[in-house]
Chains A and B, each alone.
Chain A
Amino acid sequence: MTDTKAEIKIPKLETKKANVFYGDKQVIKEVDIQIEKNSVTAFIGPSGCGKSTFLRLFNRMNDYIEVFRKEGGIYIDGMEIYDKSVKVEELRKMVGMVFQKPNPFPKSIYENVSFGLRIQGINKREVLDEAVERSLRQAALWEEVKDDLNKSALALSGGQQQRICIARALAVKPSVLLMDEPASALDPISTAKIEELIHKLKENYTIVIVTHNMQQAGRVSDKTAFFYVGNLVEYGSTKNIFTNPQEELTERYITGRFG
């Protein structure tokens, strides 16, 4: 389906004047951003700049923080996701998340990957079997674990555990995948596998990845957003950001003058 010029393209993810407060402290300041469907966007910036907090706006994981307060509009497919009519559980089926430290459930591989479907009431063995295999294949883990899906997920290596978490997120067929420094706790080989994964997943998913590793941002993303102390300093194609940044702050960050 091609877009004609007459169609208005709604961005997949969007924020308008997003502000986030933890109590009195403002951690995100007036951020406007538009993220296209089926792209990979990297959020970079020094520690504490708010990129993880901003990422978590899209699946409302900040809701659990008591002092959290947001202002402004957060939209997915044009729909305000903080609206009272939105059920947060439904949102999270559309928007999956992979965390920094792999956090598989202390259960079998099969139970981990099928969890998202079982909480929706889907219990038929054939349906779950198919979903588990599909997701593990997508996460490039099927060949390694197919012989014993009842093995405990905790018995796998760190890189494998993270891919279980990715498979688990993919099993419910979300349209957006949020990844919060997914490879920072992993060794270089696992990291490379995950980056390769992101390349393949891009065809079918909109991916946003927070990373403190600029080379990684350069390798995997189409567009990059640079955050600094809660502000979105610059947002553009990854190539431009890294070779021809418009803002001086961006240039200083990517050349390592501060980190």
Chain B
Amino acid sequence: MNSVQKNRLKDQLFKYLGIFSTLIGIVLLAVFIGSILVDGLGRIDWDFMSSLPSRKAEKAGILTAWTGSLWIFGLTALISIPLGVAAGIYMEEYGRKNRINSILEVNITNLAGVPSVIYGILGLEIFVRTLRFGGSLLAGAFTLSLLILPIIIVATREAIKAVPSSLREAAYGMGATKWQTVWMQVLPAAGGGIATGIILALSRAIGETAPLIVIGALAYVPFVAKTPMDEFTVLPIQIFNWASRPDHAFVVNAAAGIIILLGITFLLNGIAVWLRYRWQKKVKW
């Protein structure tokens, strides 16, 4: 076999290896989703969505869990978005490129990889105990904000970095101040990338279980949270609680809960993908 034939063979091999690997992922995902749908789809109805949890599986509903998740989503977004985007803008546009800032940069990127339960422990000490928020939505939201802050900061920085310097030159050349350049040209141009990063970060926050358990989100919360200081539960915790019961009827509830959580996750990721597509179309360098 000469070298051309060898290379062609390698090409084909790699191609089929790629297809095979992709298929494994897709098939496994399909099997998982399929079995969940089979188990839980029938359980989802208006009663399920609007009922409080109960010791009886047929009566147990997911109301507290999805309202809790919504609360957490909203509060976390309110706290983490302004902080994360502002930090990202500052580091990228205003920060000087010296050693201290380089060390800071590395540390922030590392924070994105810290196991989430550690954030839970941090949140427990700072927000629950020291600041006396208790095991409330506020404590949960602050804790999760800490968790996803590095993700938002990195996404913001990457999006800003992708804006070519010719854009800034044009703005400065017109007599714009630094802030005008950032606010009127750089940020809008980076907007799609920042939005994508934010949505992915929040999508992660919705699925987080461990840190919320640590700060005290309960598994059995028979009331809907009304203020940020209330105790709460969220979808992943409720699912976990139901899935570990011996009664098969609760497992069905868990499957239904999973479908809802997955639905929300896919929706958020879908929005992120669509946003990224729209942004890339609009901003062609």
Contact = CB atoms under 8 A, between A and B. Distances in A.
Interface of A: 59, 61, 64, 88-93, 96-97, 99, 101, 103-107, 115-116, 118-120, 152, 154, 165, 168-169, 172
A150 B69 CA distance: 41
A93 B175 contact: yes
A88 B166 CA distance: 19
A91 B176 CA distance: 11
Contact of B173 (A90, A92, A104, A107): A92
Interface range on chain B: under 10, 10 to 19, 20 to 34, or 35 or more?
Answer: 20 to 34
Contact of A165 (B170, B177, B282, B283): B170
Question: Which 5 A-B pairs have CB atoms at the shortest separation, nearest pair first?
Answer: A92-B175, A103-B166, A97-B173, A89-B175, A103-B170
Contacts of A105: 167, 170-171, 185
Given A106-B189, A106-B282, A154-B284, A99 B169 contact: yes
Given A101-B166, A154-B284, A59 B176 contact: no
A116 B174 contact: yes
Interface in B170-201: 170-177, 180, 184-185, 188-189
A152 B281 CA distance: 11
A193 to B, nearest CB: 21
A150 to B, nearest CB: 13
A97 B176 CA distance: 13
Given A105-B185, A106-B189, A106-B282, A92 B172 contact: yes
15 contacts: A59-B173, A88-B175, A92-B172, A92-B174, A96-B174, A99-B166, A103-B169, A106-B282, A106-B285, A118-B184, A119-B180, A119-B184, A168-B170, A169-B173, A169-B174
Contacts of B283: 106
A119 B176 contact: yes
B173 A64 contact: no
A154 B282 CA distance: 9
Contacts of A119: 174-177, 180, 184
A10 to B, nearest CB: 23
A64 B172 contact: yes
Q: Interface centre among B174, B189, B282, by most A CB within 10 Å? A: B174
A90 B189 contact: no
A97 B167 CA distance: 13
A89 B167 contact: no
Contacts, number: 64
A88 B189 CA distance: 24
A62 to B, nearest CB: 11
B241 to A, nearest CB: 49
A96 B174 CA distance: 7
Interface of B: 166-167, 169-177, 180, 184-185, 188-189, 282-285
Nearest to A56: B173
B175 A172 contact: yes
A99 B176 contact: no
Nearest to A105: B185
B205 to A, nearest CB: 31
Contacts of B167: 103, 105-106
A78 to B, nearest CB: 21
A56 to B, nearest CB: 10
A61 B169 contact: yes
A248 B114 CA distance: 68
A116 B175 contact: yes
A96 B169 CA distance: 12
Nearest to B174: A116
B56 to A, nearest CB: 58
Q: Interface centre among A59, A104, A115, by most B CB within 10 Å? A: A115
A105 B175 CA distance: 15
B172 A61 contact: yes
Contacts of A93: 175
Nearest to B170: A103
B279 to A, nearest CB: 10
Contacts of A118: 184
Given A106-B282, A154-B284, A99 B173 contact: yes
A99 B164 CA distance: 14
Contacts of A152: 282
B170 to A, nearest CB: 4
A172 B174 contact: yes
A99 B169 CA distance: 9
A93 B285 CA distance: 26
B57 to A, nearest CB: 55
A92 B181 CA distance: 14
Nearest to B284: A154
Contacts of B173: 59, 61, 92, 96-97, 99, 169
A120 B177 CA distance: 10
Contacts of A172: 174-175
Contact of A99 (B170, B184, B189): B170
A114 B204 CA distance: 41
Contacts of A90: 175
